[in-house]
Amino acid sequence: MSPLNAPLKAVALGGGHGLHATLSALRRLTDDITAVVVVADDGGSSGRIRRELDILPLGDLRMALGALSGQVDPGPETTLWQRVFEHRYGGHGALAGHAVGNLVLAGLVEVLDDPVAALDQACRLLGVTGRVLPMSTQPVDIEADVTGIRGPSGGDQDRDVAHRIRGQVAVATTPGRVQSVRLDPRRPKACPEACEALRAADVITLGPGSWFSSVLPHLLVPELFMALCESEARKVLVLNLAPQPGETAGFSPEQHLEVLAAHAPRLRLDVVVADTDAVPEPDLLRRGAEAFGADTLLTTVGAADGSPQHDPDALASALADAAHHRVDSTPDPAANGNHGGVTVPGAEHSRPHQEEDRRWP
What are the residue ranges spanned by the domains of the chain?
A: 141-184, 190-361
> What beta strand segments (E) does 187-251 contain?
203-206, 234-238
The 3-state DSSP class for residue 315 equals helix
Please give the distance of CA 125 from its chain centroid, rounded to a whole number: 24
> What beta strand segments (E) does the chain contain?
10-14, 33-37, 131-134, 141-147, 163-166, 177-184, 203-206, 234-238, 271-275, 295-299, 326-327, 342-343
CATH fold, domain 190-361, is: Rossmann fold (3.40.50)
Query: Do 40 and 141 touch, CB atoms closer than 8 A?
Result: yes
* Separation of alpha carbons 122 and 354, rounded Å: 35
Query: Do 182 and 165 touch, CB atoms closer than 8 A?
Result: no
Instruction: Fill in the DSSP letter of residue 301.
Output: -
Residue 106: which H helix or E strand, with range? helix 100-112
Q: Spell out the per-residue pLDDT of the chain, length 361, in tens.
A: 666 566 799 999 999 999 999 999 999 999 999 999 999 999 999 999 999 999 999 999 999 999 998 654 555 666 888 888 989 999 888 889 899 999 999 999 999 999 999 999 999 999 898 999 999 999 999 999 998 876 555 555 566 788 899 999 999 888 888 889 999 999 999 999 999 999 999 999 999 999 999 999 999 999 999 999 999 999 999 999 998 877 888 899 999 999 999 999 999 999 999 999 999 999 999 999 999 999 999 999 999 888 889 999 999 999 999 998 655 544 433 333 333 332 222 223 333 333 333 333 2
Asked, as a colleague might, if the bond just before 208 is cis with ω within 30 of 0, I would say yes
- Tell me, yes or no, if the pTM score tops 0.95: no
Tell me the residue type at 81.
W
